[in-house]
Amino acid sequence: MCIGTCVIKEYEFPKLKTLPKGKDWVKLDEKGERTMFIYDLDIGPGMTPPMTPPGIYTIVLKANGKEYRQLLSLDKDPNTKGTEADILRQHDFGMKLYSSTSTTLQLIGDMETMRAKLLTRRGDKKAILLEDKIYQLEAGLHDIHQTGARFDIFRNPPQILERLLAMAKEGQISSADAPPTDQQQEVYEVTNNKLEEIKISFENLKKTADLKSLK
């Protein structure tokens, strides 16, 4: 739970800077980028940040160099069967999902940038090997084969990002007034552990002399 000042922003999705392998019809724009596609009906709702639990909050408006503050009392919906304790548990779970999703998106952006630079070194065997190692790590983070087509999600298996967004959709959107289930928490732990493994592997890879010299 947030104590004091809490800042929760909408997710910043990175631009993809490489092409899915074996799919020649996919193109990058004039900036050498393409948009990451999120399946709106399936996991898109999971992009919503965690909902705020009942409590007393200070709303801050900053405009024209001035700051205005006002207290806001956020009450529990009287029509729901969930208790405030249930809502708080779901909120805390949502904050975990939010943190892991933000980390995942940051890693994807960093890997895409690094891979794009390595792919410009054609004929450089070391660069080819390094790009492939990063590619394998990135493939565990999201659907690296996505083309932007609506049915990509039916063609390719979900990875960490897709799983996190699916959990957020079910917990934060569909069941925000109920506590997370044991199964949801267990799946999150498994997914987050895999995320940490990829993060550590990437950090270790960046320490190699060849990637340190990459600018």
In this predicted model, what pLDDT tens digit does every residue of 169-210 receive, in sequence order?
A: 888 888 888 899 999 999 999 999 999 999 999 999 998 877
Burial class (CB in 10 A: 0-12, 13-18, 19+), 33: middle
Quick one: pLDDT at residue 50?
83
**For residue 136, which amino acid is it?**
Q
Quick one: pLDDT at residue 150?
74
pLDDT lower than 50: segments of the chain? none
φ/ψ (deg, to 5) at 34: -150, 160
Show the DSSP H helices in the chain as ranges.
84-119, 125-138, 152-155, 160-168, 182-206, 209-212
Tens-digit pLDDT profile for residues 119-130: 998 888 889 999
Quick one: pLDDT at residue 7?
64
**Rounded Cα–Cα distance for residues 191 and 103 (Å):** 13
